[in-house]
Amino acid sequence: MESQRNTSEFVLLGLSYDQNVQIFCFVLFLFCYVALLAGNLLILVSIRCSPLFHQPMYYFLSHLSCMDICYTSSVTPKFIADLRGGTKTISYGNCMFQVFAMHFFGSTEVFVLTVMAFDRYVAICKPLHYLLIMNRTRCNLLVLAAWAGGALHSLPQLSMTIQLPFCGPNEIDHYFCDILPLLKVACTDTYITGVLVVANSGLVALVTFVVLFVSYVIILFSLRHRSAEGRHKALSTCGSHITVVILFFGPSIFAYLRPPTTFPQDKIFALFYTIIAPMFNPLIYTLRNTEMKSAMRKVWCQTLFLKEAHN
């Protein structure tokens, strides 16, 4: 622990040293973050204030929006503030918090996506038993399991990181604190820790992706006996889920399922699963979803009407 206290803060090198690039990124990612918050809050409030909240698919979608907000907010505000210039420092405690929050909320989101795939499988492959299988008690248990899975994944990651001694270089070649960049500045042999990180994060991402892929293959295979209208409706819903899965899991698997090292491209890929994918989730889940768009119109039109009547 004494060797850890020799480094009280880290320097985040960020995306680029070029001031013009930093200004451009500041404007771009500030817009992305505001759009992300607005879109996910819009979905969250619309579902909570409408009858859709009692439908399992939208119940899980509200939790996904909540995870997107928490997950991105653990990194993006600091990242945007650093783009305004100056020394990009972060204290040891805040760095460890970022490691925990990123892995906790990120893995919980992964498990929520898996739960949503299971919900679609039951809805399409076992429609007559859907309400019996996906009752509210089971939905609550599935969400609780997703949160528990996030904790089981993130706590070992945090434990391994806290035990690393930091006594020399403190420059992290990233825009947030993550385990693999931290391994490069640790004052010890980190090979075993790196293998454990890959075994934890990489296998969670890969196994979950395989489960999701297999579930959607089964769903698509079962649609061959449906009518054209039934296939179109099911594919519309599943298409949204598959798009989110690809945007989130593609970069995540590249970042964690490989030998424990870092590449300059890691920062670019990290933008996809920390900012880009959470920003597009509201659009992906609403643009082709008539029920969601109808609920949003009713909730917000009713809110405006009540506000005008009050005035």
Query: CATH no. for residue 115?
Result: 1.20.1070.10
| CA separation for the pair 141, 122 (Å, rounded) | 16
Which residues constitute the domain of residue 264? 9-284
In a domain, 279, yes or no: yes
In a domain, 36, yes or no: yes
Query: What letters, b where the CB count within 10 A reaches 16 and e where it falls short, cover 92-118?
Result: beebbebbbbbbbbbbbbbbbbbbbbb
Q: Are 262 and 186 in contact (CB under 8 A)?
A: no
CA dist list (Å): 277 to 48, 64, 71, 229, 272: 22, 12, 11, 29, 6
pLDDT per residue, tens digit, the chain (311 aa), is 444 446 788 988 888 778 888 889 899 999 999 999 998 998 888 888 888 888 898 899 899 999 999 999 999 999 999 888 767 889 999 999 999 999 999 899 889 988 988 888 888 888 888 889 999 999 999 999 999 999 999 999 899 889 888 887 788 888 899 888 888 888 888 888 888 887 888 778 888 888 888 888 888 787 777 667 666 666 666 777 777 778 777 777 777 776 666 666 778 888 888 888 888 887 777 766 777 777 777 766 766 555 555 55
In a domain, 290, yes or no: no
| CA separation for the pair 308, 60 (Å, rounded) | 33
Directed axis angle between helix 56-73 and helix 136-162, to 10°? 20
Give the number of C-alpha atoms closer than 13 A to the C-alpha of residue 51, restricted to the C-beta side: 3
In a domain, 4, yes or no: no
Token pair 């989730």 is found at 281
In a domain, 293, yes or no: no
| CA separation for the pair 34, 49 (Å, rounded) | 22
| CA separation for the pair 174, 171 (Å, rounded) | 9
In a domain, 289, yes or no: no
**Adjacent-strand bridge partners of 272:** none
pTM for this entry? 0.85
Please give the radius of gyration of the chain, using alpha carbons only, rounded to the nearest integer.
21
270 Cβ neighbours under 8 A, 6+ residues apart: 174, 175, 176, 178, 251, 255
Q: Are 47 and 295 in contact (CB under 8 A)?
A: yes
Total domains in the fold of the chain: 1
In a domain, 199, yes or no: yes
CA dihedral sign, ordered 286, 74, 213, 120: negative
In a domain, 295, yes or no: no
